Amino acid sequence: MGQPSFSDCERVRGVISASLDGEVSEVEQATADVHLAVCAECQAYAASVTATSGLLRATPLEELDFQIVLPSHRLRLARTMQLGAAAAAVAATVFLSVTVGTTQNSGLSPLSASAAAGPAAYLQSPEYELRMLQRASADSPPAHAHYAV
């Protein structure tokens, strides 16, 4: 027999934890015992978990001086409905944005359509270039005005 595999150790450690609560069958316990006979790491795990469990079980219960109140079923249902309504509102907003954006883009003028096609098509429009030159010359003062004394 070779070394126990990692999956064997994980399975046996699950059996060890369950056995502390008395939740394993005799067959599972026997299989774990065979593995524990050859695996030192699982023996150390079993000793550690058994000691920790014993310590926890020996500790006296704490008496609370306040009451713990769990939310009612109606409150949880209301929160779930609020979350669903918020998700529906977000979905409706996205749907309307896409729909309106698509509808508005379908009625574009040729100049606007070239602008929507991308920057290269936008700048290749002669009408656009002419308008930009006219705007630039109308908005800016003559170049020699800066040098006037």
Asked if pLDDT for residue 75 goes beyond 90, the answer is no
| pLDDT band (50, 70, 90) for residue 52 | very high
CB 16 within 8 A of CB 42: yes
| pTM, entire model | 0.42
Of 73 and 113, more confident: 73
**What are the boundaries of each domain within the chain?**
6-58, 108-140
Average pLDDT over every residue of 38-60: 94
What would the 3-class secondary structure string for 17-64 be?
Answer: HHHCCCCCCHHHHHHHHHHHHHCHHHHHHHHHHHHHHHHHHHCCCCCC
Give tens-digit pLDDT for 122-132. Answer: 556 677 777 77
Averaged pLDDT score across all residues of the chain: 79
